[in-house]
Amino acid sequence: MFCFQCQETAMNTGCTVKGVCGKPQETANLQDLLIFVLKGISVYGEKLKELGAADRTNDAFIAEGLFATITNANWDNARFTALIQEGLQRRDQLKTKFLAAYKGKKGQDFNGPLPEAATWFASDSAAFADKAKSMGVLGTKNEDARSLRELLTIGLKGIAAYADHAAVLGFHKAEIYDFMMEALASTTKDLSVDEMIGLVMKAGKTAVATMALLDEANTTTYGHPEITEVTIGVRLNPGILISGHDLKDMEELLKQTEGTGIDVYTHGEMLPANYYPAFKKYEHFVGNYGGSWWHQNKEFESFNGPILLTTNCLVPLKKDNTYLHRLYTTGVVGYEGATHIPNRPEGGVKDFSALIAKARTCPPPTEIETGSIVGGFAHNQVLALADKVVDAVKSGAIKRFVVMAGCDGRQQARSYYTEVAEKLPADTVILTAGCAKYRYNKLALGNIGGIPRVLDAGQCNDSYSLAVIALKLKEAFGLNDINELPVSYDIAWYEQKAVAVLLALLSLGVKGIRLGPTLPAFLSPNVAKVLVEKFDIKPIGTVEEDIAAMMSRK
C-alpha cells in the first residue's frame, strides 16, 4: 500500500500500512487495481477514437470507477472486486471491437505493442488481491513523472465525480469522457515532462467545463440557488439525515417522505440543497444538522434516525458508535454492514422505503445547536446584486474579497482558517464553497451595507460560481487580467475534488493561491517548483502574515 491522494496522508509523505482516513491496505490495493483496469479500458477507447470509431459504452463506468476511489467514498472490498471484474469484461469487449475496427481500417491485424493494463487478466478475487499488491503509484520510479501522473489522475477523480453528478441529471459532454480516457491512457506511455504538464493543464480546462456542465444540470433541474436562511435546530418529528452531494437523491428522498410525518435534514456538503427553489416547497425539509464530514461519528450518533450517504465523505465508525444499523449508502458509496440502496432502474427512481420504515422506529434528533446560517450566494444570485457589490468596492466599503473555498478536515492546523476569518479586517468579504465554510460560517462576522461578510456559493463544485463571479467582476471593473481584481485566494484542500477545483483555477489564469494546510504530498520538489514559478502557488503561513500579504495584494 502507498496512498498520498489526500491532505492528511501520513507525515505528508504517504500512508503505507493503513490510511489516516481509516482505509485498510486491502482496500487501497484494490482501488489501485481498479484504476489499472480503467487505464486498460482507456487504452482501447483512445485507439478506437483515433480510428474514427469512438465508443461511448464505457463513459459512465470509467467516471463511476474513478469516483469510487475518492477518499472516504467506498470502503467495501466486495464492491471493488465486482467493479474490477466488470472492468475486465468491458475492457476485453472493447479490445475485440478495436481489433475488428483496426483490421477494417488498416487491412491488417494489429500486432501491438500494448501496455500491461490492456492485456493483464484474472478471474478470481485471490488473483486480484495478489496483483493489487504491485499496482501502487510507486511503480513509476521517476519521482517527477510519478508526481505529474498522480496529479493528473487525482484531478481526474474530482472531474469524474462532477461528471457523474451531471450524468445522473441527464447532462453529458463527450469531450469530458474523451479526456478521461486520453488522460488515463497517457499514464501508460513514456511521455516528456512538457507533454505531461500539458495534460495537467488540459485537466484544469476540463474541470472548468465539467463544473459548468454540473452547474447547468443543477440549475436547469432545480432552479438557481437563492439567498436562504437555514435552520440548524431540530423539530420533534423523527428525521432522516442526508449527506454527500447528490441532488437527485435529495429530490427523490423528499418526494418519498412527503406526508409521512418524517423530517429531512441535510448534513455536510448537502447543506446547499437548502438554497434550491425546487426543494423549498417541501414543508418537511427543515434544515441542516451538524457540521462538516469529520464530526459525523458524534453527529450521526446524536441524530438518532437513519443516515443516507450519497457520495463521499463517509468516516469509518468507531467502536463506541451504534448507528451502523441506521447507516444507508447509495451510488458509489459502500461500507460493510451498512444497507446499500441500489441504483435507480432506467426511467425509475431509487427506493428509499427502507429508510422511511427505519425512521418510523427512531426517536427525533437530539438538538446540538440552535439558530440559523445564511447561504445561497451562487453566481446568479451574486450577479443580481452586482451593482451593489461594485458600488461597495468603488466606495471603499469593501476593500477585498478572500476566496476561502475547499475542504474541511481534522488536523488542528485547520484552525488557521477560522482565525483568518475572525481576524480579517471588517471591510473584507469571504467567498466560500465546499465544507471549508464550516470553519467560519457560524461566526458572527456581520455584513457590509447589507452584504454578508461570508458569501456561501454552495458545494465544492460550486467553486465554479466563484470563478464566474470573479470573471464578471473583472468585466464590470474593465480589467484585463483576473489577477488585477481585489481578490485573494486562501484555499483549503483535503480530497481529489478540491484538486480538480485547483487545476480549474490555474487554467483560468488565477495566480497567487495560498494552499493549505499543507502542500500536496504528491507534488515532487521539481513539480512544486514549476507550479510556484508559473502560478505563484504558495503554502499558508501565519495568520497575521498571510492577512497582511493578502490585504497588500502579495
In a domain, 149, yes or no: yes
Q: pLDDT, tens digit, for every residue of 349-364?
A: 999 999 999 999 999 9
Residues 507 and 395 in one domain: yes
In a domain, 268, yes or no: yes
Average of pLDDT values for 162-172? 97
Tell me what pLDDT residue 354 has. 98
Residues 162 and 297 in one domain: no
Q: What is the CA radius of gyration of the chain?
A: 23
Residues 277 and 343 in one domain: yes
The last residue of one of the domains, among 221, 236, 252, is: 221
Residues 200 and 232 in one domain: no
pTM: 0.96
Least-confidence region, from 124-133, 444-453, 491-500, 513-522: 124-133
Question: How far apart are the two ends of the chain, measured CA to CA in Å?
Answer: 40
Residues 473 and 517 in one domain: yes
The last residue of one of the domains, among 360, 377, 405, is: 360
CA distance 511 to 513: 6
Tell me what pLDDT residue 252 has. 98
Reply yes or no on whether the pLDDT at 136 is more than 90. Answer: no
Residues 39 and 188 in one domain: yes
Kindly indicate the confidence band of residue 29, based on its pLDDT and cuts at 50, 70 and 90: very high
Residues 264 and 189 in one domain: no
Residues 401 and 536 in one domain: yes
Around Cβ 482, how many Cβ atoms within 10 Å?
A: 17
In a domain, 371, yes or no: no
Residues 50 and 192 in one domain: yes
Q: pLDDT, tens digit, for every residue of 334-354?
A: 999 999 999 999 999 999 999
Q: pLDDT, tens digit, for every residue of 418-467?
A: 999 999 999 999 999 999 999 999 999 999 999 999 999 999 999 999 99
Q: pLDDT, tens digit, for every residue of 261-318?
A: 999 999 999 999 999 999 999 999 999 999 999 999 999 999 999 999 999 999 999 9
Residues 348 and 307 in one domain: yes
Tell me what pLDDT residue 553 has. 75
In a domain, 2, yes or no: no
CA distance 397 to 388: 11
Residues 201 and 350 in one domain: no
Hey, what's the cell of 485?
481584481
CA distance 292 to 26: 27
Average of pLDDT values for 165-188? 97
In a domain, 372, yes or no: no
Number of domains in the chain: 3
CA distance 161 to 496: 9
Cell 483555477 sits at which residue?
505
Residue 203 belongs to domain with CATH number: 1.20.1270.20
Could you list the residue range(s) of the whole structural domain that residue 523 is in?
Answer: 389-551
The last residue of one of the domains, among 221, 244, 275, is: 221
Residue 419 belongs to domain with CATH number: 3.40.50.2030
Q: pLDDT, tens digit, for every residue of 192-223?
A: 999 999 999 999 999 999 999 999 999 999 99
| φ and ψ at residue 455, rounded to 5 degrees | -105, 105
CA distance 146 to 153: 10
Residues 168 and 197 in one domain: yes
H or E, element range at 251:
helix 247-257
Tell me what pLDDT residue 554 has. 57
Average of pLDDT values for 374-400? 94
In a domain, 374, yes or no: no
In a domain, 181, yes or no: yes
In a domain, 306, yes or no: yes
CA-nearest of 332, 338, 365 to 354 is 338
86 neighbors 38 (Cβ within 8 angstroms): no
